[in-house]
Structure 1
Amino acid sequence: MDRNTLIGLILIFAILGGSFYLMKPSESEIKQEQRLQDSLKRVKAGLPPTLDSTKNTAVKAATPSLVDSADLKKPFGGAKYGDEKIITLENEKIIAKVTSKGGRVKSVELKNEKNFDGSPLILFDGNNNRFGLLFNAAGQNIATNDLNFQSSDVDAVVNNDDTKSIKFRLNYNEAQYIEYTYTLKGNDYNLALDVNAVGLQNLVPQDQKTILLDWGAILYQKEKNVKGERDKSSIYYKTAENDVDHLSETGDDEEKLEKKLTWIAFKQHYFSSILSSKTGFASADLDVKTAADLDIVKLYSAKAKLDFSNQKDNQYSFNFFFGPNKYNILKAQNNDYHRIINMGWGPMRWINQWITVPVFNFLDGFHMSYGIVILILTVLLKGVLFPLTYKSYLSMAKMRVLKPQLDEIKAKVGDDNAMLLQQEQMKLYKQAGVNPLGGCLPLVIQMPFTIAFFYFFPNLFELRGESFLWVKDLSTYDAPITFPAIFGIDHISFMCILMTLTTLLTTWYNNATSGVSGQMKYIGYFMPLIFFFVLNSFPAGLNYYYFLGAVFTFLTQLIIRTFVDDDKILAKLEANKKRPESEKKKSSFQAKMEEMMRQQQAQKGKK
């Protein structure tokens, strides 16, 4: 086994080991699975399933049948009683139901969207969410989420440029109350909330500088692949310094932020509820958990401090955004909401933000099938990168025609003297004017574009619910073959199979044309097989793009092969050997290699 083969095998095992490490379940996933198995055992034994303790974050308001007279003497004590009243605000985009229990938004339905099973898409509903102020008044802990507000308003539908407001008031007395004013405009995803706290400064302790805003929700499954949905759902936030960050998307996480925030987002894969404040949140404790229930994506909790003045009434202006994580829609809000969409990091994000998104939007304007849009996008990308592909292939062709001479050097020198072998090989490269890394650099330059699409397509809202050929939904995996789970796999994606087979075909062709032999011949087959298991549950749109990329790569190599004559290349390299040394341009790689070999020889001479 020569050194190159050994290095190749080490890299393959390193990739395999890294893949198994990265794909192993997190501690939260293990706990979730254990809770699920415990519940299943109880069901089989005829017992009710265990409840996840985290579900208690959804506060349930109860209406006692009898009034406790002692409650009436406490601040806002009478607000514990009363019948629930729900007022509906509706426009072309959303249906928001506001309840008198807590004066909060009880549910939001997006009118133009559906769940993966065709049911109405509701961001959150009922007592699975909470929203309100927490503060101390006259020695009593007050949670407005549990109290009954009053309102004389009725349901309203607004359209176009119309605007409608409704008010809910939590009364202590005529001079002391909390009033919520919700305002909805036509054709908008935003619901404004103005909070007016009148006279509270006379109830709370004089040294209190902040009150707490408590917001929480249990968000249910909306996509076919609930695991994939969980892995792209978390709490995002923006600081006053314009930094956008988030809690972990792949597991339970919590964070105490001692900095001012401008907005907090409860993000699911393709939809978000975002709460912003004109004056900002002084600080916040954020928490995200994964529940055992298979249909629950995650449980979110945010406790944010609001500045409070004990010298005057306090007003707060908030805004809820209830809508899709569609790049153009979020960017149009002019508050950096679009940064909750994961476009990758570094060069990948720049490529997606400044190249991929504009080109995709341009193609989308022609109202074609998204399968055709992806096809055209792939052709354009391959066309732009063709010069690099050609240069890479030409460099590999030079290495291919030199291989017989390299084999002769190896047979003459042997494997025992690695330094001498390397020197003789570098001498041949220098004489022929060949850079041994010339085929790698163009591939490295292309790599960010390939990885950028790995982030772009799984987060592309436009693919949601869009069909193409046999694929019913390009935003999730196509599963024509399903079976009981084996090692966590319960389906086979046909688009992923096509991608894998085409990549294997390209690898075979490369091996055949490059003259690779021995064990190195089989190393290239490992990566497509590894990626099959990795990408099997990824969106069909992503696998479709990689399939097209592999097809065009194969066709490009066939076309280039017909124009590249190995005999002419060899003749040119032989001509380079005859040129004077002074006329030969030395590559930086060759210069560095020669300098390294001189240093090694010098150190060896000293010994």
Structure 2
Amino acid sequence: MDRNTIIGLVLIFLIMIGFGYFTQPSKEEREAMQRKADSIAQVQALQQQKKLEEEKAEKKVASIEVDTIKQEQVESQLGAFSNATSGVEKFVTLENDLMKVTLTSKGGRVYSVELKKYKTYNGDPLVLFTGDENTFGLQFWGDNKAIKTNDLFFTPQSSDSVIVASADSVSLTMRLQAGDSAYIDYTYTIKPESYMLGFDIKFSGLDKTIGNRMGYIDLIWDTKLLHLEKGLQNEQNYTTIAYLFQNGDYEELNPRSKGAEKEEISNKLKWVNFKHQFFSSVIVAKDHFVNADLLSEKLNDGNHVKHFNARLALPFQNFAQETINLSLFFGPNHFKTLEAYGLGFEKVVPLGSNIIRWINKYVVINVFNFLSRFISNYGLIILILTILIKLVLFPLTYKSYSSSAKMRVLKPQIDEINAKYPKKEDAMKKQQAVMALYKKVGVNPMGGCIPVLIQFPILIAMFRFFPASFELRQQSFLWADDLSSFDSILNLPFSIPWYGDHVSLFTLLMAVAMFVTSKMNADQMGDSNAQMPGMKFMMTWMMPIMLLLWFNNYSAGLSYYYFLSNLITIGQTFMIRRFVDDKALLAKLHENAKKPVTKSKWQQRLEEMAKQQQQAKKKK
């Protein structure tokens, strides 16, 4: 850049500075401009504030109009009950030495139930249901209005938040107001040392407000039962809705259903039970329920077992003045406890039917309860019970073994008969000859089966008793921390189909003991059962494997009992073998063969059938 250029740039810069200095506004001009700007900003602010106030006023008017519309809708829908749509939720607890029942003013219903003497498997307080997961209230129509009391606010007729039944029964009334002299009362009554909660529903002065042409009024009960026990799968298999008809017949929804289970009942019911595996929530009618709709759904969220819903129709005629008497039972599924109420509650305990239930009810439970008076360890009680049962059945066991031994020592003679009649068309002659041999030596071929069949009901009775036995709940023995559930000694990182994700040691021991017992029985028969190799394989191998898979998630007490039973059977078999001499037994049979033979009616029929077959062949 040359000298002239630099001088030119400097002159331009000085000219610009001078122009800016001489053309700038004076102090008075700057103050006037500032006042003008402030005035404009103030006007804009006032305009904005006015606009906001106008919008706020418009919203307020709109809100008032919406609230008015809503109120009109509520009054249109609920009529006299419209004032009960809002309120402050209050809680009152009714308590005795056995349970704590919390009631809420919203719906006037039972909010939660805690059984004070029991805990969950995790050691938490045992709460059957709680919170908004439990819906309980009346549902009815009047003047085309659908009323659901569960959504309305009742007023507790007591200022106490906790009411305790220590010496005498105590009551609490929840009132749903429907005008000056019209209301619905829920009155709850609790007694000392009782799992029963009285529940009376009283209607007063509602005849002009609500009409009823049905002859009944609906009670809706909907709840989610909480997961309380160790094994969720086993708990779900015993959790269901049970109900008793007015004539005393007992039914329940299928607890093992994979989908939703529904039942529409048109006959009169005495009570409906939302039954846990070991606890019950029952609603009982003093008279009866007219009909009912029931729904059960399995839940797999980890916190709940199942979702239950029941619509129960209560006989009802007069809204002017009528009281419906009901009761609510919340307690354990302990057979003697349930039986003491005299309402058939004990039928929910799955003890089997007919002779199976008779054995459990009059023999097993009584022996179990008697032993529990002196022994606190239920593992030892099961051991003693098993020994007593095996001692009672020992004569049948001995007879079965003796019959099998007789057929085994006759095997050479049976083989001779088989060789004499090798053709299929001679099957009747062969069977007739075998039966004649048995008759001649005094052997009953069914002698080994009949004792087993007699013992079978006891095996089934034990199968029904142990998983349903409340006494075993949370009782530990050896490595099993809960005899009512599985005894896991190893948790697997994966799940095996039909088996599960853990290893139950008592089930494993039971399967091994059953295999040894079946193998000894097969050896005892020798080759006499060669015509039934499939049956031999089934009993020796398949049955233990099937029970190993089946019982892995079952009650440890049941597997322990079957293990002990098979173990004692093995010992009895070894002992009996020492007293049964095959040579002496065969000699005795030969002595019997020398005696005159009288044909039984069954043998006579077999011979007659054989003659008829021979005659039919000759005609052809």
| TM-score normalized with structure 1 length | 0.85
Within 1, Cα distance between the matches of 2:383 and 2:368?
A: 11
Q: 1:171 to 1:311 in 2, by over 3 A?
A: closer
Equivalent position of 1:144 in the other structure = 149
The number of residue pairs the alignment matches comes to: 540
Equivalent position of 2:171 in the other structure = 165
Q: 1:408 to 1:204 in 2, by over 3 A?
A: same
Equivalent position of 2:585 in the other structure = 569
Q: 1:376 to 1:587 in 2, by over 3 A?
A: farther
Note the alpha carbon deviations across 1:444-465, whole angstroms, 9 max, x for none.
1110111111111000001000
Q: 1:200 to 1:587 in 2, by over 3 A?
A: farther
Pick which of 130-139 and 75-84 moved more: 130-139
Equivalent position of 2:97 in the other structure = 92
Which residues in structure 2 correspond to 1:295-374 (within 5 Å)? 295-310=303-318, 312-374=320-382
Residue identity in the other structure for 2:489: P
In the alignment, is the contact (CA less than 8 A) between 1:239 and 1:262 conserved in 2? Answer: yes
- 2:496 maps to which of 486, 497, 509: 486
Which residues in structure 2 correspond to 1:70-85 (within 5 Å)? 70=72, 71-72=74-75, 74-85=79-90
Equivalent position of 1:62 in the other structure = none
Note the alpha carbon deviations across 1:479-503, whole angstroms, 9 max, x for none.
1112111225211110001101111
SS of 1:188's equivalent in the other structure is coil
Identity percentage of aligned residues? 41
Q: 1:206 to 1:474 in 2, by over 3 A?
A: closer
- 1:504 maps to which of 506, 515, 523: 515
Within 2, Cα distance between the matches of 1:413 and 1:309?
A: 82
Q: For structure 2, which runs of at least 5 residues remain unmatched after alignment?
A: 1-65
Pick which of 345-354 and 471-480 moved more: 345-354
Within 2, Cα distance between the matches of 1:455 and 1:209?
A: 42
Task: Tell whether 2:451 aligns with 1:442.
Answer: yes
Residue identity in the other structure for 1:215: W
Within 1, Cα distance between the matches of 2:361 and 2:604?
A: 38
Pick which of 165-174 and 522-531 moved more: 522-531
Equivalent position of 2:113 in the other structure = 108
Q: 1:588 to 1:66 in 2, by over 3 A?
A: farther
Asked which structure has the greater CA Rg, the reply is 2
**Residue 122 (structure 1) shift:** 0.5
SS of 2:346's equivalent in the other structure is helix
SS of 1:377's equivalent in the other structure is helix
Equivalent position of 1:190 in the other structure = 196
In the alignment, is the contact (CA less than 8 A) between 1:435 and 1:587 conserved in 2? Answer: no
- 1:419 maps to which of 421, 424, 428: 428
In the alignment, is the contact (CA less than 8 A) between 2:200 and 2:323 conserved in 1? Answer: yes
Note the alpha carbon deviations across 1:269-307, whole angstroms, 9 max, x for none.
111100001121111111111234233211111111112
Note the alpha carbon deviations across 1:563-598, whole angstroms, 9 max, x for none.
1111111001111111123xx4x5565455444434
Which residues in structure 2 correspond to 1:521-560 (within 5 Å)? 522-523=537-538, 524-560=540-576
Q: 1:589 to 1:378 in 2, by over 3 A?
A: farther
Pick which of 66-75 and 480-489 moved more: 66-75
**Residue 198 (structure 1) shift:** 0.8
- 1:69 maps to which of 68, 71, 79: 71
Equivalent position of 1:4 in the other structure = none
In the alignment, is the contact (CA less than 8 A) between 1:435 and 1:590 conserved in 2? Answer: no
Q: 1:223 to 1:266 in 2, by over 3 A?
A: same
Residue identity in the other structure for 1:136: W
Note the alpha carbon deviations across 1:399-450, whole angstroms, 9 max, x for none.
0110121122223332543233222222221221111111111111110111
Q: 1:168 to 1:555 in 2, by over 3 A?
A: same
Q: For structure 1, which runs of at least 5 residues remain unmatched after alignment?
A: 1-64
In the alignment, is the contact (CA less than 8 A) between 1:158 and 1:185 conserved in 2? Answer: no
Residue identity in the other structure for 2:368: F
- 1:258 maps to which of 257, 266, 282: 266
In the alignment, is the contact (CA less than 8 A) between 2:115 and 2:331 conserved in 1? Answer: yes
Q: 1:446 to 1:604 in 2, by over 3 A?
A: farther
Within 2, Cα distance between the matches of 1:185 and 1:362?
A: 29
Q: Which has the higher contact order (CA 8 A, sep 6+)?
A: 1
Q: 1:321 to 1:364 in 2, by over 3 A?
A: same
| TM-score normalized with structure 2 length | 0.84
SS of 1:102's equivalent in the other structure is coil
Within 2, Cα distance between the matches of 1:341 and 1:400?
A: 44
